[in-house]
A and B are shown apart, each in its own frame.
Chain A
Amino acid sequence: MKQVAIVALAARHALHQRGEVLFRGVFYIAILLIFARLWQALGAGGSYVWYIALTEWIVLSMPLLSVDIEEDVRRGDVAYAIARPVSYLHVKIAEGLGNGLVRLLILGGLGGLAAWLLTGTPPPRGLLLSLPLGTLAFSILVLSQAAIGLSAFWIGDTAPLFWIWQKLLFVLGGLMFPIDVYPQWLQRAAYATPFAPLLHGWARLMFDPDPALAARTAALLLFWGAALAVFVAWLYRRALAIMDVNGG
């Protein structure tokens, strides 16, 4: 499959961008150290450290696909890229996944080692259930970034939209703290959005490794992932139509 070949090459390409991964790795370890001390001071268990190790792992592994697409739109490269026998959108998503895959592996190794040294062995069942769901959530986040990037056809600069989306993900997704510690009204709001299953939904399996909960989260992720895929495909078609009216 063409897209798989692009994922593989993008992963190899990402291996050469060591500086950026290293920078993200240092930031990741710093966050883990701070939160490990915080939870320790509050008398919470090691599962909380594993929770943030997992949510930060996914967030820090995300490639800046929206910026990449926005630059293509601005330079007029999309027009030239669509003259190939493979969809531009598929190429960009495959590149994002390949790029992210390397970061997932490197940061996963770093974060796992750090969390293990700070708190000891993770709950094995929780880890087993959360890792595949985390990878699925990661793919959906890449898809979200593709949608933000394509919005450049209408709004030009996607940075404000990305900023809002990222902050919503951090707060309503429960990046730093599990949603269960939020006030009731904010919990209700967070659970009503697609952000909750993207981070908290699967990372909370570290506290509560319940297969039924994992199945519910998987169903939610698949639902939001499918809805987003339909939306991105529609957005791409609209973007091509706009390009046709306004030129490359």
Chain B
Amino acid sequence: MSPAIEISNLRKVFRVRERPKGLRGTLRYLVNPPTRDVAAVDGVSFTIEPGERVAFVGPNGAGKSTTIKMLAGILHPTAGTARVLGLVPWGDRKRLAYRIGAVFGQRTQLWYHLPAKDTFALLARVYDQDEATHRHRLGELVDAFGVGKLLETPVRQLSLGERMRCEIVASLLHAPQVLFLDEPTIGLDVTAKAVIRDLVRDTSRRDGNTVLLTSHDTGDMERVCDRVLVIHNGRLLLDKPIADLRGTYIRRKVVTLLTAEERIAIALPGVTVVEEASHRTVLEVDVEQTPIEAVVEAALKASRLRDLTVEDPPMEEIVQAIYASA
């Protein structure tokens, strides 16, 4: 079977205008603005097999969006080759559009004042879907995403989580083989994030579609993806299964305990107190030495626990760790 996505030495250089200082510089800028070439993507290569769910991570300005835009046929590369589902994206953009879907967390394709079902019906027309196919596919997705009760509600009255579920249904309606998700959980609360992650993962498993997900939230990549690509300054730094990443880099969790007691002491290997206040203790746990369950058990024994949160270290920290080891 041919790969779903295959890119080789992909490079994209943008020309950025630079405004010189002073009056003379401003006048020169108006007549003939000086420019500087910036390589947003600099020789990236990778292959993604059909059905794989891959996280594409990196700090802001790393080149994630530019790469996805080239894979969606939006931008032409300066150099290198790419094939998505066997098509050259920028050469066959229209044909490819029928076979890929995209969700961009901060952008909407739903019509604000109308119920989501109206947007879905329009998308069926846009993607040349016949009435019977549309009804069948919509029925499947409505059941899977639990949006049956939301279909008649104007989009403006939906919560952000409900809207995002409808956005993903909209992007899956034409049964795309490749789904690009750009920050799909941005701004959502913990419950809504968990729902979206499970739905994306389960739909991909059921339909066999390939997912390329960009996110700053490590939870997204841990819950949805099997593999991670880390990009920085336009270059690919790492290509590993998520399990390896977790073992190598996400070995530290932050546990916050709110207790009835003013102070508690937990002595376990790999557990250090990083912050201590009245009735509140923040621990850093090396999960390779002590699993989270053991920390919770110890906390329950040592105190009357009122609340507990477990957090991953921020994405930037993990990426920093990757740079350090690269």
Contact = CB atoms under 8 A, between A and B. Distances in A.
Given A80-B104, A85-B94, A244-B75, A2 B125 contact: yes
Interface stretch (A12-20, A38-46, A222-230): A12-20
B69 A248 contact: yes
Contacts, number: 66
B74 A83 contact: yes
B127 A85 contact: yes
A85 to B, nearest CB: 4
Contacts of B98: 85
A83 B114 contact: no
Interface string B88-130: 0000011001101010100100011110001100100111100
B215 interface: no
Contacts of B107: 75, 77, 80
Contact of A9 (B14, B94, B114): B114
B66 A247 contact: yes
A80 B74 contact: yes
A82 interface: yes
A246 interface: yes
B100 A248 contact: no
Interface string A226-248: 00000000000000000111111
B253 interface: no
Interface string A1-34: 0100110010011001100000000000000000
A244 B94 CA distance: 17
Contacts of A106: none
Interface string A125-161: 0000000000000000000000000000000000000
Given A12-B118, A245-B15, A83 B97 contact: yes
B72 interface: yes
Contacts of B251: none
Contact of B93 (A9, A13, A83): A83
B46 to A, nearest CB: 20
B126 A85 contact: yes
Interface string B198-222: 0000000000000000000000000
Contacts of B112: 13
B113 A83 contact: no
A13 B127 contact: no
B73 interface: yes
16 contacts: A5-B125, A5-B126, A9-B114, A9-B118, A9-B119, A12-B114, A13-B111, A13-B113, A16-B114, A79-B75, A82-B74, A85-B94, A243-B74, A245-B14, A247-B14, A248-B65
Interface of A: 2, 5-6, 9, 12-13, 16-17, 75, 77, 79-80, 82-86, 243-248
Given A85-B128, A248-B74, 12 more contacts: A2-B125, A5-B125, A13-B113, A75-B107, A80-B104, A83-B93, A83-B100, A85-B94, A85-B97, A244-B75, A247-B66, A248-B69
In the A-B complex, list the 3 residue pairs whose CB atoms are closest, starting with the nearest: A16-B113, A85-B97, A5-B125
